[in-house]
Amino acid sequence: MSKERIRQAGLRYRCNGIHSGLFEQGSSDYPERSRFLASLWMNSISLNPDTRVTTTLRVLHFEKRREV
C-alpha cells in the first residue's frame, strides 16, 4: 500500500474518531516507516519482538519532539 493511501486512510479514521492501526513488516524493518505512521497519529503499529524496544523509543522520541 502506498504512503499516500495510508495517509488518506489515517486522516479519514482520525477525523471520524475511529481507532486506526497498521500491521505490517515495514514498521519493524524501516525506522522511517514507524515515524511516518506515528506522524499520522496511528493508534497502534505492529512490531517484531526484536525491534519492539528500539522502535518504541524512537516513536516516543518523535512524539515528544512533535509536541514542542
Structure confidence by residue, pLDDT tens digits, 22-68: 777 777 888 888 888 888 777 788 888 888 899 889 888 888 887 65
HSE of 2 in the Cβ direction (CA atoms, 13 Å)?
A: 3
- Please tell me the predicted confidence (pLDDT) of residue 68: 54
- Please tell me the predicted confidence (pLDDT) of residue 1: 65
Domain that holds residue 52: 3-67
Rounded Cα distance, 21 and 55, in Å: 15
* Nearest to 42, CA basis, from 3, 67, 7: 7
- Please tell me the predicted confidence (pLDDT) of residue 27: 77
C-alpha cell at 3: 504512503
pTM of the entire predicted model? 0.64
Q: What's the number of domains the chain is made of?
A: 1
59 CB contacts (<8 Å, ≥6 apart)?
Answer: 34, 35, 38, 45
